[in-house]
């Protein structure tokens, strides 16, 4: 037996396997995931694992290594988030998101930091040795909402798109603020005196970290798009470039102390459009599927590790400090959201309702980023207190808030996401309105979002597409593509209902290798992931019903009659008549 | 700048990026890959890289770490090979493959070892200090044909299926022999005296290593299949299990000193059938695509590293030893193939032609496995000579044999692979004959391969499928599935030619999310990888032509007329008449 030799990959594989099996286990009982969020269950599994390890070894189980978290586990999740970010709502609400992410986070950091400092002044709590700077440092790491935790919970509750993008966008973009403030306070803690210059440098640094991240991300994204122009002859490595370039953008940003999260999101959003056009549809399916898979596994591992790391002797328990941390986290976030939304609503027609505000405040979950940051703190005598407080805040937000948010959303009747994809008609109208609004803005001299969007689109089609796309000379309107897709689907339905009317196909003519059905692969992302034989059968039934309607509507179509005038009860009768005729 | 922090993932990503970009570079010039095999080009890139590193640092560039090779680079390639192994020709030629892999490899090891020992006895060469055991040890690592090199070259020359499987199967299965002999001679080298018991133990060990590998692989494969029974609700992590379980089988086998290559192949071949039936078609596409991508990258990295590692001061140059090694490798392999094939041909109706024998002998390429094994040798004073000889043999086989094998295949007019997939008719006939032959064997009492295949199939459908498949109660004949697929394709063609005749489809009915086209995804693997807009256009043309024929044949079909009796020159005329009528 030579375990030493294979230890590293073997243990990594086993951890991933455990994570995947845990996921399967939860889904075997359909009722469980609908009540308790998966993140809670995973932390619970982690706690049990940690308890077992602690019991067997009689020492603290290994805590999650911050390097492993930031270098290997976080990037897949953020890449997935950036790549599948719905760009329209994101850019439409960009201002609000940035306000929450920047001003809101700063507000929370200082609010939590100063009020905890106030608590430390109470003699009875015996916390006088925790300085203001240490409290602010703690505030900087505990204030930021965690994208992993938010994603895990909000993906399950299906709130409306705007609310989702507000919470989720904030959790992603606040990374730049967190990075700056955390590093600033950390270096302040080690400095003997703090000059006002340092404070101003910190403010300037925020722009460098955020915008630098965007720049790094976009440059890698465009390089990726440019590279995929030349992969025509080796389709098989196309998906690789999507992953490699986005990972490089993250690592490069981290290397220069910029915001890696912002970089990878900029990279993913920048490349998506061009890469999708360049690579084959099969490669694209692989990219999407693998991204989802990877982020799902990372996510699972993070929550399990969170649970495992909780067990052990890293904690210093101080009731007042920990309780007040939880309370201040909730209070300052609620206040921040209220105040900021008040200003946001004054400038928008489409205001954020008070229900939405409540969910935004309540959805401020903390997660593994805080946890990793608190372990990265330099050693000082109260570090274990901070670790304990962070752990409690994370467990409180994930378990209490995460488990109650779904009932609350039901109770408040928060607007949900619409289930169906927009129809062709809707899409055409949206596009028409965009052009119209851009024209109105141009005439009225108001440089609003439609004006800039139009300008960006012009720049894109004039320069970027020519450089980054492989076949720029043959652009096809997406409406035409959609029409072709629908017609192909229509044909398939007819074939499956056996109504082709051209006699049976000739299998011996060897169509098999002449046809390409690649283009039929893309469909609604969410639906495809859950397609199972039962669903398929269900669909076939629906199709069979619809097909009947089509057949009836097809030949009988007239400009003067409305479709669907006859009652569904007539169907059986009509079929009988048709049968009779054919006999 | 904080390079230390991100160094490991950054450098790994950069290496993979370099490999991928090199691949793109070669394919930009279409003529290059058709003359020189990609493996040669990659080694060349590696040599240049090594030269640059050597020139800049003035010390040997890092050699490929054997651990990295065996633990991370080799498994993806072997998994890919095992998963896409054409099982029918593999099992049909199993006996021959095993003969080549076991007897042939042993023959080569002892042949090369003893004859090199003979060379060492020549006083003029100053090699008397190389003992017989060391020569045998060297023989054991240099004798085995390398699957990575063979795959890289044979994938490009498209010889007939039988010839391909003979060379490739041998290169995979000889791993068990190599592992045993290499470890045996290595331990002999360190022993003071060798007892005859040890020799017999070695022979017994071969069966343990080989059959143990198969057992480990199959058990992991069946576990994987069993696991995918329960992934219905979380399709997104399905592909993961295929990779995790096969990797675990490899690592477990390595841990117990069994043959990891044999284990991973058994695992892949064992699970394939059941996993394919259990997981969604989209997951399966991802599995296939990612496997190909991964193995392609590993392959590229291996050849680049081979080139890089060649440069440096690890070599001791001794002309006679190195030249005779190359000669003996060629001669003993040729002799072995001749002798073994003589016996094989006596027992088979479908004999191996002398042309095929030549290609089998000539296709015995050496590669990275030898290279890693020679670096794993314990330090002794002639290790550098062995490294030099191994490097020369690898470069000779990959460059000289790899580059000349394609012209030779052309020159000898070796039977090529048939380009098209078998038709439905052929498939039905093959299956029919299988049943017939199994019946004949059963009646005549001859327990041949058809008999065992039939028994295995019975066992499979009676027990295995019930345990491992999710929906065993609804099995669909593959012929029925194929028919459905073809009918769907036929419908699509009609739609694309605008001949549906049911009026335009109603896009506003929102078919988009009702239809599933998953089942149209699977098509000929090779073709899909190379689908490009040009090919698509080409296909459309072909389809347009064929569609005309179908339309014409469809309604006019009669049992008494043969299709295609009218000449293609009539088409234009007939179209004119049809047009006329419709006006």
Q: Is the pLDDT of residue B367 over 80?
A: yes
Same domain, A150 and A241: yes
Same domain, A157 and A244: yes
Q: At what angle do helices B383-395 and B368-375 cross, to 10 degrees?
A: 170
Return the SS3 of A416: strand
In chain B, the percentage of residues whose pLDDT exceeds 70 is: 81
Any chain B CB within 8 A of the CB of A531? yes
Question: Which residues in chain B have their CB less than 8 angstroms from residue A485's CB?
Answer: 512
Same domain, B235 and B256: yes
Does A239 sit within 8 Å of B289, measured CB to CB?
A: yes
Same domain, B333 and B478: no
Residue A570: burial class (beta carbons within 10 Å; 0-12, 13-18, 19+) = exposed
Predicted local distance difference test score (pLDDT) of residue B543: 57
Question: Which residues in chain B have their CB less than 8 angstroms from residue A418's CB?
Answer: none
**Per-state percent for chain B, helix, strand, coil, to nearest 5:** 75, 0, 25
Between A48 and B481, where is the model more confident? A48
> Is A14 a domain residue?
no
Q: Among B297, B494, B505, select the one facing A486 at the smallest CB separation.
A: B505
Predicted local distance difference test score (pLDDT) of residue A75: 93
Q: How many CA atoms lie within 13 A of B319 on its CB side?
A: 2
271-290 in chain B: CB under 8 A from chain A: 280, 282-283, 285-286, 289-290
Residue of B nearest to A496 (CA): B488
Predicted local distance difference test score (pLDDT) of residue A396: 92
Any chain A CB within 8 A of the CB of B532? yes
Least Cα distance to A167 among A426, A418, A397, A407 occurs for A397
Dig out the tokens for A27 from the structure: 């889904």
Q: Which of A181-195, B216-230, B548-562 has the lowest mean pLDDT?
A: B548-562
Predicted local distance difference test score (pLDDT) of residue A218: 94
Cα(A253)–Cα(B5) distance, integer angstroms: 12
What confidence category does residue B265 fall into, taking pLDDT thresholds of 50, 70 and 90?
very high
Any chain A CB within 8 A of the CB of B426? no
Between A384 and B543, where is the model more confident? A384
Any chain A CB within 8 A of the CB of B444? no
What contacts B196, CB < 8 A, 6 or more positions away? none
What confidence category does residue B251 fall into, taking pLDDT thresholds of 50, 70 and 90?
very high
Tens-place pLDDT, residues B54-86 = 888 777 777 778 888 889 999 999 999 899 888
> Is B23 a domain residue?
no
Predicted local distance difference test score (pLDDT) of residue A558: 33
Cβ-Cβ contacts under 8 Å between A and B: the total is: 344
Query: How close A326 gets to chain B, by Cα (Å)?
Result: 33
Return the SS3 of B416: strand
Encode B217-256: b = buried (16+ Cβ within 10 Å), e = exposed: bbbbbbbbbbbbbebbebbbbbbbbbbbbbbbbbbbbbbb
> Is B145 a domain residue?
yes
Interface test with B, best of A68, A285, A486 (most B CBs within 10 A): A486
Tokens 């576990």, residue located:
B223
Does B282 sit within 8 Å of A286, measured CB to CB?
A: no
> Is A36 a domain residue?
no
Does A521 sit within 8 Å of B521, measured CB to CB?
A: yes
Between B380 and B321, where is the model more confident? B321
Any chain A CB within 8 A of the CB of B482? yes
Q: How many CA atoms lie within 13 A of A570 on its CB side?
A: 8
User: Last residue of a domain, which of A438, A467, A488?
Assistant: A488
User: Last residue of a domain, which of B434, B458, B488?
Assistant: B488
Measured CA angle at B382 (ends B393, B376), to 5 deg: 70
Query: How close B440 gets to chain A, by Cα (Å)?
Result: 29
39-98 in chain B: CB under 8 A from chain A: 67, 71-72
Q: CB neighbours (10 Å) of residue B446?
A: 10
Same domain, A345 and A438: no
Question: Which residues in chain A have their CB less than 8 angstroms from residue B506's CB?
Answer: 550, 553
Does A487 sit within 8 Å of B6, measured CB to CB?
A: no
Q: Among A21, A503, A543, select the one facing B514 at the smallest CB separation.
A: A543
Query: How close A266 gets to chain B, by Cα (Å)?
Result: 19
> Is B306 a domain residue?
no
Interface test with B, best of A501, A520, A534 (most B CBs within 10 A): A520
Query: How close B344 gets to chain A, by Cα (Å)?
Result: 36
> Is B209 a domain residue?
yes
Chain centroid to CA A203: how far? 28
Same domain, A381 and A469: no
Q: Among B24, B235, B543, select the one facing A514 at the smallest CB separation.
A: B543
Query: How close A73 gets to chain B, by Cα (Å)?
Result: 12
Question: Which residues in chain A have their CB less than 8 angstroms from residue B508's CB?
Answer: 423-425
Question: Which residues in chain A have their CB less than 8 angstroms from residue B471's CB?
Answer: 533
Same domain, B163 and B193: yes
Same domain, B351 and B468: no
Tens-place pLDDT, residues B124-135 = 888 888 888 889
Query: How close B546 gets to chain A, by Cα (Å)?
Result: 9
Predicted local distance difference test score (pLDDT) of residue B535: 64
Q: Among B10, B514, B524, select the one facing A251 at the smallest CB separation.
A: B10
Asked whether the beta carbons of B324 and B396 are under 8 A apart, the reply is no
Q: Per the structure, how many domains does chain A have?
A: 2
Same domain, A369 and A432: no
Predicted local distance difference test score (pLDDT) of residue B79: 93
Q: Among A71, A297, A491, select the one facing B494 at the smallest CB separation.
A: A491
Q: Among A237, A282, A511, select the one facing B486 at the smallest CB separation.
A: A511
Beta strands, E only, B81-149: none
Between B523 and B21, where is the model more confident? B21
Interface test with B, best of A5, A6, A249, A420 (most B CBs within 10 A): A6
Cα(B551)–Cα(B492) distance, integer angstroms: 14
Cα(B102)–Cα(B174) distance, integer angstroms: 6
Q: Tell me which residue range forms the domain holding B181.
A: 64-295+315-412
Predicted local distance difference test score (pLDDT) of residue B221: 94
Residue B214: burial class (beta carbons within 10 Å; 0-12, 13-18, 19+) = buried
Same domain, B288 and B371: yes
Any chain B CB within 8 A of the CB of A480? no
Does A255 sit within 8 Å of B3, measured CB to CB?
A: yes
Predicted local distance difference test score (pLDDT) of residue B434: 83
Same domain, B398 and B473: no
What contacts B208, CB < 8 A, 6 or more positions away? B258
| Mean pLDDT, rounded, of chain B | 80
Same domain, B260 and B127: yes
Measured CA angle at A562 (ends A557, A568), to 5 deg: 95
Any chain A CB within 8 A of the CB of B479? no
> Is A522 a domain residue?
no
Does B13 sit within 8 Å of A507, measured CB to CB?
A: no
Cα(B180)–Cα(B173) distance, integer angstroms: 12
Does B491 sit within 8 Å of A494, measured CB to CB?
A: yes
Query: How close B190 gets to chain A, by Cα (Å)?
Result: 19
DSSP state of B500: -
Asked whether the beta carbons of B307 and B44 are under 8 A apart, the reply is yes
> Is A548 a domain residue?
no
Read off φ and ψ for residue B369, nearest 5 degrees: -65, -45
Q: How many CA atoms lie within 13 A of B408 on its CB side?
A: 16
Query: How close A531 gets to chain B, by Cα (Å)?
Result: 7
Query: How close A421 gets to chain B, by Cα (Å)?
Result: 8
Least Cα distance to B158 among B421, B351, B409, B530 occurs for B409
Residue of B nearest to A489 (CA): B515
Read off φ and ψ for residue A52, nearest 5 degrees: -65, -50
Predicted local distance difference test score (pLDDT) of residue A519: 35
Does A20 sit within 8 Å of B244, measured CB to CB?
A: yes
pTM: 0.78
User: Last residue of a domain, which of A472, A488, A504?
Assistant: A488
Does B10 sit within 8 Å of A546, measured CB to CB?
A: no
**pLDDT, one tens digit for every residue, chain A (583 residues):** 778 888 888 988 998 998 889 888 888 877 777 778 888 888 988 899 888 888 887 777 777 788 888 899 999 999 998 998 888 889 888 889 999 999 999 999 999 999 999 988 888 888 888 888 889 999 999 988 998 888 888 888 888 888 899 999 999 888 888 888 888 888 888 877 777 777 788 888 888 888 999 999 999 999 999 998 888 878 888 888 999 999 999 999 999 988 899 999 999 999 988 888 888 878 888 898 889 888 888 988 988 888 888 887 777 888 888 999 999 999 999 999 999 999 999 888 788 888 889 999 998 899 888 888 888 888 888 888 898 999 999 999 998 998 898 888 888 888 887 766 667 778 778 888 888 888 888 888 777 778 888 888 888 878 888 888 877 655 556 666 667 677 777 777 776 666 555 443 333 333 333 333 333 333 333 444 445 666 666 666 665 555 544 444 333 333 443 344 344 445 555 555 655 666 5
Q: Which of B237-246, B253-262, B326-335, B435-444 has the lowest mean pLDDT?
A: B435-444
Residue of A nearest to B543 (CA): A514
CATH for B205: 1.20.1530.20
Predicted local distance difference test score (pLDDT) of residue B218: 94
198-227 in chain B: CB under 8 A from chain A: 227
485-504 in chain B: CB under 8 A from chain A: 485-496, 500-504
Q: How many CA atoms lie within 13 A of A414 on its CB side?
A: 25
State the DSSP string of A139-161. Answer: HHHHSSPPHHHHHHHHHHH-B-H
Does B495 sit within 8 Å of A488, measured CB to CB?
A: yes
């Amino acid at each position: 037996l030579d375990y030493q030799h294979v230890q590293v990959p073997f243990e990594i594989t086993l951890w991933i396997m455990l994570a995947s099996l845990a996921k399967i286990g939860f889904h075997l009982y359909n009722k469980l995931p609908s009540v308790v969020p998966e993140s809670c269950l995973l932390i619970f599994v982690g706690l049990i694992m940690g308890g077992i390890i602690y019991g067997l070894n009689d020492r603290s189980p290994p805590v999650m290594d911050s390097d492993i978290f930031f270098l290997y586990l976080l990037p897949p999740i953020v890449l997935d988030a950036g790549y599948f970010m719905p760009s329209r709502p994101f850019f439409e609400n960009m201002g609000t998101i940035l306000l929450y992410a920047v001003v809101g986070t700063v507000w929370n950091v200082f609010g939590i930091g100063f009020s905890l400092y106030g608590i430390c002044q109470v003699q009875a709590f015996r916390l006088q040795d925790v300085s203001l700077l240490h409290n602010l440092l703690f505030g900087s790491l505990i204030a930021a909402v965690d994208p992993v935790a938010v994603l895990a919970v909000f993906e399950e509750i299906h709130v409306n798109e705007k609310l989702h993008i507000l919470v989720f966008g904030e959790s992603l973009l606040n990374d730049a603020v967190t990075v700056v403030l955390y590093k600033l306070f950390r270096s302040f803690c080690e400095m003997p005196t703090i000059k006002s210059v340092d404070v101003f440098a910190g403010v300037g640094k925020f722009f460098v970290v955020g915008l630098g991240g965007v720049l790094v991300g976009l440059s890698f994204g465009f390089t990726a798009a440019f590279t995929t122009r030349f992969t025509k002859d080796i389709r098989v490595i196309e998906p690789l470039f999507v992953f490699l370039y986005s990972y490089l953008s993250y690592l490069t940003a981290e290397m220069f102390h910029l915001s890696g999260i912002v970089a990878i999101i900029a990279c993913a959003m920048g490349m998506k459009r061009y890469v999708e056009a360049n690579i084959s549809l099969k490669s694209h399916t692989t990219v999407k599927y693998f991204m989802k898979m990877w982020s799902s596994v990372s996510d699972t591992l993070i929550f399990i590790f969170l649970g495992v790391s909780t067990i052990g002797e890293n904690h210093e328990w101080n009731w007042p400090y920990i309780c007040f941390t939880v309370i201040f986290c909730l209070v300052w976030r609620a206040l921040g959201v209220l105040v900021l939304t008040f200003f946001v609503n004054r400038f928008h027609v489409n205001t954020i309702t008070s229900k939405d505000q409540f969910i935004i405040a309540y959805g401020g979950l903390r997660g593994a980023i805080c946890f990793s940051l608190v372990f990265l703190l330099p050693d000082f005598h109260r570090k274990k207190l901070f670790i304990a407080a962070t752990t409690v805040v994370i467990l409180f937000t994930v378990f209490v808030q995460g488990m109650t948010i779904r009932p609350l959303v039901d109770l408040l009747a928060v607007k949900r996401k619409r289930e169906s994809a927009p129809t062709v008609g809707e899409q055409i109208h949206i596009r028409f309105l965009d052009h119209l609004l851009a024209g109105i803005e141009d005439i009225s001299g108001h440089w609003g979002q439609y004006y800039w969007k139009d300008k960006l689109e012009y720049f894109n089609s004039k320069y970027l597409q020519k450089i980054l796309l492989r076949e720029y000379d043959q652009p096809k309107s997406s409406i035409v593509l959609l029409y072709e897709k629908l017609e192909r689907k229509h044909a398939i339905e007819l074939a499956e209902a056996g109504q082709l009317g051209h006699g049976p196909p000739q299998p011996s003519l060897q169509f098999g290798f002449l046809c390409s059905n690649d283009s039929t692969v893309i469909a609604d992302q969410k639906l495809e992931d859950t397609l199972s034989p039962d669903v398929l059968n269900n669909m076939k039934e629906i199709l069979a019903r619809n097909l009947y309607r089509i057949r009836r509507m097809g030949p009988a179509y007239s400009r003067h009659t409305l479709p669907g005038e006859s009652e569904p009860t007539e169907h059986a009768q009509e079929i009988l008549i048709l049968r009779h005729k054919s006999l």
